[in-house]
């Protein structure tokens, strides 16, 4: 009996080993498949098209003829059609109509206005006109502000204390400096709108014969943002909190000199934007981390709908209804398709099915784009809700059939985890199906970050957040950033900054903004 028990123990031990090894093989195979999938996806991101638009026919482009051929189909009959088409107007020339025009006329000398045939006087029969676009390079000049100081000669004669009266003159944007509103606006616009870093601007100023160090430029930018634009930023922030729809997103930032943090550690730039039905507002906020306390603090006092990409850090925001982003849900299925190995017909079909559900929802949104909010709400219940219900059933079924850790499994789990937020756009016709509004707004910062790579200090990062906020909000309200910034730096030093009415007149959507700050309307 003892001998039999030992053999049974040995057999059980071997079975345990086999089961354990089988489990390890399965886990390692899953890991290997995941690494291969990530490699293919990274290769596609590196060398493939960046667009998420996906056409399933592209996968079968080389055997398209065999797939689409139908022997029984009758040949189409030829029909000869002739037609005339009106020549379309040149859109480029039409867009020039709002530009100022400089006319240069060419005439023959009087001695040349003689007919070579009969010797009589020539007359102007018609005119030939050739249009060109002329570029006037930037010019730099010194502006001297000279004001008179007055005294009374009579008081001087009578030995009376002579009053000294000085003519009024606007306050400068920076006392004791030759910095002008236009120069500061130019530096900020070039850095933040055109993503030209300060060291390259330093070289550009040398071409004008001016020695301006990047340290001077940086000091001016920080001064302009933290001493003047911050008043406007705070006022716009008050308007944002009064809205009932806000979009939010965040991206990384590197700040070199930050207390308590290594130079290579990540900081974050947060973005908050109004919904499509409100005056456009885009506010950036610098924070040293991605902690949930930052959106909670920033959105204190806000109540309504908050749309994000699903990051859990926004769950701490109180008194809001959270919305998800179907663009992120869709991206999961497009990434899964891009990462599939050749011959994965079953996985390809499942990924395409998930992608098709998302595409149908986006197509409905495009069809409802021009409707009122109430009409869109009703149409979504009729058209989008059935698609959502079918999509949810499909997700629950495929979750059980999909290999864990695969790209397709990740896309399915994202949708299921985010589902209450994803379907929340049905609650109000003003809501959007995706958070693309915030993603588009944060792109200018991402582009700028690639050019200047990092901020030197927390002051610089905060100044960048304020300046981006003013510039991007101005763009969204059809203002030209340079002229708007120039106008602000002329006005802000010369108004009562505690007077809300005066500040409101400088807001990007204010009707009192001069016409020269606005993008010309096309005829």
Provide DSSP, 260-299.
TS-TTS-EEEEEEEE-TTS---EEEEEESS--THHHHHHT
Cα 185 to Cα 489: distance, rounded to the nearest angstrom: 8
What was the pLDDT predicted at 345?
64
Cα 241 to Cα 8: distance, rounded to the nearest angstrom: 72
pLDDT greater at residue 282 or residue 106: 282
Report residue 2's pLDDT band, with 50, 70 and 90 as the boundaries: very low
pTM of the model: 0.76
The stretch 87-103 carries a mean pLDDT of 65
pLDDT at 66 over 50: no
* CB atoms inside a 10 Å sphere around CB 516: 11
> For 179-229, how does the pLDDT look when each residue is reduced to its tens digit (9 = 90+)?
999 999 999 999 999 889 899 999 999 888 889 998 999 999 999 999 999
Strands (E) across 275-427 are located at: 282-287, 304-307, 320-323
The stretch 236-258 carries a mean pLDDT of 92
CA atoms within 13 A on the CB side of 484: 27
What was the pLDDT predicted at 390?
96
């Amino acid at each position: 009996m003892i001998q039999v028990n030992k053999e049974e123990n040995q057999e059980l031990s071997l079975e345990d080993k086999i089961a354990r090894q089988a489990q390890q093989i399965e886990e390692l195979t899953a890991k290997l498949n995941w690494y291969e999938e990530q490699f293919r996806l990274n290769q596609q991101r590196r060398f493939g098209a960046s667009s998420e638009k996906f056409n399933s026919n592209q996968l079968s482009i080389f055997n398209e003829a065999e797939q689409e051929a139908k022997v029984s189909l009758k040949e189409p009959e030829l029909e000869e059609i002739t037609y005339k088409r009106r020549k379309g107007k040149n859109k480029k020339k039409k867009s020039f109509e709002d530009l100022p025009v400089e006319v240069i006329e060419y005439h023959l000398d009087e001695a040349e206005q003689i007919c070579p045939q009969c010797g009589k006087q020539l007359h102007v029969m018609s005119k030939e006109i050739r249009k060109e676009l002329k570029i006037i390079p930037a010019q730099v000049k010194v502006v001297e502000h000279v004001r008179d100081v007055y005294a009374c000669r009579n008081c001087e004669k009578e030995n009376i204390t002579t009053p000294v009266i000085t003519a009024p003159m606007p306050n400068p944007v920076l006392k004791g400096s030759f910095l002008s509103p236009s120069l500061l606006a130019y530096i900020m616009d070039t850095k933040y709108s055109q993503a030209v870093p300060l060291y390259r601007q330093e070289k550009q100023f040398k071409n004008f014969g001016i020695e301006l160090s990047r340290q001077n430029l940086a000091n001016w930018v920080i001064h302009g943002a933290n001493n003047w634009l911050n008043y406007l930023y705070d006022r716009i922030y008050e308007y944002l909190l009064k809205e009932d729809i806000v979009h939010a997103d965040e991206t990384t930032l590197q700040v070199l000199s930050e207390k308590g943090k290594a130079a290579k550690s990540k900081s974050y730039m947060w973005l908050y934007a109004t919904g499509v039905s409100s005056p456009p507002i885009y506010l950036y906020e610098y924070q040293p981390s991605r902690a949930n306390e930052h959106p909670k603090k920033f959105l204190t006092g806000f109540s309504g709908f908050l749309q994000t990409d699903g990051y859990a850090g926004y769950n701490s925001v109180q008194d809001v209804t959270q919305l998800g982003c179907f663009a992120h849900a869709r991206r999961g299925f497009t990434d899964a398709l891009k990462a599939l190995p050749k011959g994965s017909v079953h996985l390809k079909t499942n990924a395409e099915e998930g992608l098709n559900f998302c595409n149908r929802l986006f197509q409905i949104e495009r069809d409802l784009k021009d409707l009122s909010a109430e009409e869109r709400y009703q149409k979504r219940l009729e058209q989008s809700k059935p698609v959502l219900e079918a999509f949810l059933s499909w997700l629950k079924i495929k979750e059980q059939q999909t290999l864990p850790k695969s790209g397709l499994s990740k896309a399915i789990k994202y949708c299921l985890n985010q589902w209450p937020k994803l379907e929340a756009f049905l609650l109000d016709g003003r809501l959007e199906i995706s958070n693309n509004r915030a993603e588009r707004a944060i792109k200018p910062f991402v582009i700028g970050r690639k050019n200047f790579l990092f901020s030197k200090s927390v002051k610089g990062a905060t100044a960048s957040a304020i300046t981006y906020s003013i510039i991007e909000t101005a763009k969204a309200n059809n203002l030209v950033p340079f002229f708007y910034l120039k106008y602000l730096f002329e006005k802000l030093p010369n108004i009562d900054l505690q007077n809300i009415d005066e500040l409101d007149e400088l807001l990007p959507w204010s009707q009192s903004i001069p016409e020269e700050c606005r993008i010309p309307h096309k005829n």
